Structure 1
């Protein structure tokens, strides 16, 4: 699809950026007309330097109302519809036209001898410079700020994702985060009525954390991880499992960590657990 049919970035017509655009455009117009006096603008009004400054400042700031009204309309229009590049270009051309028309009327009122077409042409040239130069600079600045924001957001999201990948997070029944454990430190999870006990290593010491939630909910949150259900009352981190052993009273997993009991495997989960252990050990 051609560029002119693409939509302009939404950051162009956010409230903060519209305010920045209006303020910088007004400031630039004041400096441009009063300091550089393009196209002999001091000859428009036969007055002293100070009076020229006051009158031109008033005229310029009044003319900037065209931009204010235009951008307010754009702000509310942009909330409902997208704005294409071609539509935005036309929008700016209309701003130039109406502001030039505004300045032309001022010029004719203050100097009736001036030819309307010549005054309008000169106003279009000046207005184009007054608007397009700050617009170009601001759009580059807005684009830079947006790229910076996107990069910062990506870094933050990447860091958060990396942290999530390196740790298991546990939430209570109100979906509030209560505990995060590094993957290599999690041992097993045990059901205890309306709670679960999360067993993990903290500075090499076996530690437990009681969390109000169900084992089933925890199981669902740990789908596609190495923490697997092996019993109606247990889930185990298979990164910690060293041995699976069949005994007279059933099948058990040994985690190889002091003071950690062997975890039973129920018949319901035995086939799945043993196969998972074999596959993960390959």
Structure 2
């Protein structure tokens, strides 16, 4: 891990800051009421019942939330100036949050617990340990969640784009299944034709020294709409063809076929319904 790298943008997102504070507060409330750290059940020299513990623990959690709010608001405004905080500084901020919260909890314990003969530093050490546990667990969980969510968002942006992309000067065509999830992205120049069968489409394309096939769960009708901006046109009820790969159109035994520019030549049927459109495109190409 490079500590000098800048923190990801999702750490300073308003939405994620609110999530972080609420999730951490909720986790701390459960942790204190179930685990009872800081000897909280003996506050005021009383054996606190569950409802009383919930009330008093909520008070100290509000103090912790205040520390987190101040810390994250300062972090947010600092990074608004396009001066992204480095990872080592971010980890230092988390450490300071733990220290300040521990001090508050130590003061609570020292002030409210009767017959506690431990000195301030001993109380602080225990408070530091428990506070670190209360904060680091939800922080780690949310760190992983935010990272996962960010990656999914970026992937979704790429896969949901209706337009083809260009990589290394080559136009790429994404093919999506019936649920809208991209399953394969191919170089336009390598695509030969598509053949539909019921709810599946076979995509034929040039591989290494051979013709490869990819089976996609979708219909030819859906794909026709998705890639209508590309030079891949419907030529038959069950076929679409990259007309830039058409070598010639010929009539054979009363039917028209498209001969692809491959070795050996591949033939794709051309029906009367789509003949005029293919002739027009073939003439323009």
TM over 0.5: yes
Please state how far the C-alpha of 1:181 moved relative to its aligned partner.
5.3
Question: Alignment length, in residue pairs?
Answer: 189
Cα deviation for residue 131 of structure 1 reads 0.6
2:267 is aligned to none
Do the aligned partners of 2:42 and 2:114 also contact (CA within 8 Å) in 1? no
| TM norm structure 1 | 0.57
**Contact map agreement 1:25 1:134 (CA 8 A) in 2:** yes
Residues 45/3 of structure 1: CA separation in 2 closer, same or farther (3 Å cut): farther
Where do residues 159-238 of structure 1 align in structure 2 (5 Å cutoff)? 160-161=164-165, 162=172, 182-183=230-231, 203-205=274-276
Whether the 8 Å contact between 2:43 and 2:113 is mirrored in structure 1 is yes
Structure-2 residue corresponding to 1:150: 154
Residue 38 (1) aligns with residue 37 (2)? yes
What's the TM-score once normalised by structure 2's chain length?
0.57
| Corresponding residue number in structure 2 for 1:64 | 65
Q: 2:145 aligns with which of 137, 141, 145?
A: 141
Contact between 1:184 and 1:240, CA under 8 Å: does it hold in 2? no
RMSD between aligned alpha carbons? 3.4
Unaligned runs of 5+ in 2: 166-171, 175-186, 189-227, 234-242, 244-272
Q: Which residue of 2 aligns with 1:106?
A: 108
Aligned-pair CA distance for 1:39: 6.0
Residue 156 of structure 1 and its aligned partner are, at CA, apart by 2.3
Tell me which protein shows more helix as a share of its residues. Answer: 1
Cα distance, 1:22–1:183 mapped onto 2, change above 3 Å? same
The reply to whether residue 12 of structure 1 matches residue 55 of structure 2 is no
1:122 aligns to what?
126
Instruction: Give the match's secondary structure for 2:7.
Output: coil
